[in-house]
Amino acid sequence: MAAITNVNNPVTSTSGQTKSAAEQADALANVNFDMFLNLMVTQLQNQDPLNPADGTQFTEQLATFSQLEQQVASNKHLEKLANAQSLTSQSLAVNMIGKEVMAQGQQVKLVGGKGEFQYKLEKDAATGTLEVFNGTGQVVKTFELNTKKGLHKVEWDGKDDDNKLLANGEYKVVLNAFDADGKRVTTNTYVYSTVKGVESEGVDKTYLMMKDGKKVLFEDVFSVRDAV
């Protein structure tokens, strides 16, 4: 009698080698419901009348294939949703070209005596330093560190520790924090950078390409403003 292969059984190639689970899934996904019914009818027509197939087995096969067909359909719908979401992210990202976005980084831009950045502590710190370095690696400004857990905003007036106004340009922000046991606290600094382009990888990753060479995930941006 012609047997209908159960989806739980391994699929064997003409070379006798067992296919992988992924290959089995691909093969089964290409079998439509009408083909399955034709195979089942053929099995019924060719079964041994003295040893008929168990009806329960047919029911199980039918239920299993129905579940597979529903899963394949669901995967296709999810893929369409992912593609739609990716297109939405890309459209929003393109609108950011030429604007400044705040994302993780250390290079703060000082323009006309104004510089802005943020920093985040993953937990409360006991001690720490928040320093700004110029292009030659010298500390030009030291800020009092807010040691509380969370995100903190810093609005810099562009003056150094001697209260002198610094020249426009980019400065590096360095944050170090430690807990009561002297262990380093996880920190991040966030600065504004200008977006010059957009790049996508697959359907789930959209990147903003910055003028300073950085590459930032679209979902990692939490603030946007007109370029200064």
Task: Kindly give, in sequence order, each residue whose CB lies less than 8 Å from that of residue 119, ignoring residues fewer than 6 positions away.
Answer: 130, 151, 152, 154, 173, 175, 187, 188, 189, 190
What is the chain's alpha carbon radius of gyration, rounded to the nearest angstrom?
31
Residue 31 confidence (pLDDT): 54
CA gap 23, 207 in Å, rounded: 33
Query: Averaged in consecutive runs of 10 residues, what is the pLDDT profile of the chain (228 residues)?
Result: 38 43 51 65 70 64 67 61 54 81 90 93 95 96 95 95 95 96 95 87 79 83 81
Q: Alpha carbon of 139 to those of 131, 173, 175, 177, 188: distances in Å?
A: 7, 10, 12, 17, 19
Q: Where in the chain is the domain with CATH 2.60.40.4070?
A: 99-226
The helix, strand and coil proportions of the chain, stated in percent and rounded to the nearest 5, come to 30, 35, 35
State the pLDDT at residue 198.
85
pLDDT of residue 6: 39
Give one word for 85, left, alpha or beta, with left for phi > 0 and alpha for psi -120 to 50.
alpha
- pLDDT for the residue 202: 67
pTM greater than the 0.85 cutoff = no
Structure tokens at 105: 């980084």
CATH of domain 99-226: 2.60.40.4070
Q: What's the confidence (pLDDT) of residue 13?
A: 39
